[in-house]
A and B are shown apart, each in its own frame.
Chain A
């Protein structure tokens, strides 16, 4: 049983560019949450998707957007990249009815 998979594992972009990160949830899960983890800090909640709609959102600007597909996989898009967007981006999947999150290994984004 595959767990949560994220791609790519590493990514280097320059300021002003746009990036798309991808996540495939654990089999049977219907909810995907995205987190940003800056170096030396705890993960910060970006948003959560369920039934292809954004269900909850953290304190992140509109430059951060997402999408969930009918197969429950998800994308995180970040526009107009800033140096401060450099971080590990974590995807977590769950069942809407469960409090337990399963995390992927993350995508390390570096903005130069």
Chain B
């Protein structure tokens, strides 16, 4: 069975500071990995995804994530936080045989302090 853990249910950063949101996964087969963002009263929007190939993945709004198989991690980073980045972030995993059954982590709420 697949699962996702996200260290830190809430993260606060200052505007302009580095954003680091942590994600670890468990999967018995090669995974597909995703980061989604959810703004208040909205659905989820895909930030970036890893399927195969390059392990450093770039997404929208300046975010990127690196797939580290040895650490079973897929941490999300952004060099400089903006106020508009304040939202809930979800890491998710699916396997390459039933990739549309996506399993989500519990989420990390990001606050950006001016």
Contacts and interface: CB of A to CB of B under 8 A. Distances in A.
B101 A56 contact: yes
- The DSSP consensus for interface residues of chain A is loop
B43 A45 contact: no
B42 A42 contact: no
B70 to A, nearest CB: 23
Contact of B94 (A90, A99, A106): A99
A90 B44 contact: yes
Contacts of A92: 43-44
A96 B49 CA distance: 17
Interface residues of B, number: 25
A48 B100 contact: yes
Contacts of A40: 107
A31 interface: yes
B90 A42 contact: yes
A35 B38 CA distance: 14
B56 interface: no
Interface of B: 4, 32, 34, 36, 41-46, 49, 51, 90, 92, 94, 98-107
Contact of B42 (A31, A33, A48, A105): A105
A68 to B, nearest CB: 14
A14 B6 CA distance: 34
A73 interface: no
A44 B104 contact: yes
Nearest to A101: B102
Contact of A103 (B41, B44, B98, B107): B44
B102 to A, nearest CB: 6
30 contacts: A4-B43, A31-B100, A33-B101, A40-B107, A41-B106, A42-B4, A42-B92, A42-B105, A43-B44, A43-B90, A45-B101, A45-B102, A48-B100, A48-B101, A56-B101, A58-B101, A90-B43, A90-B44, A92-B43, A96-B100, A98-B100, A99-B32, A99-B49, A100-B49, A101-B100, A101-B102, A103-B36, A103-B44, A104-B43, A105-B42
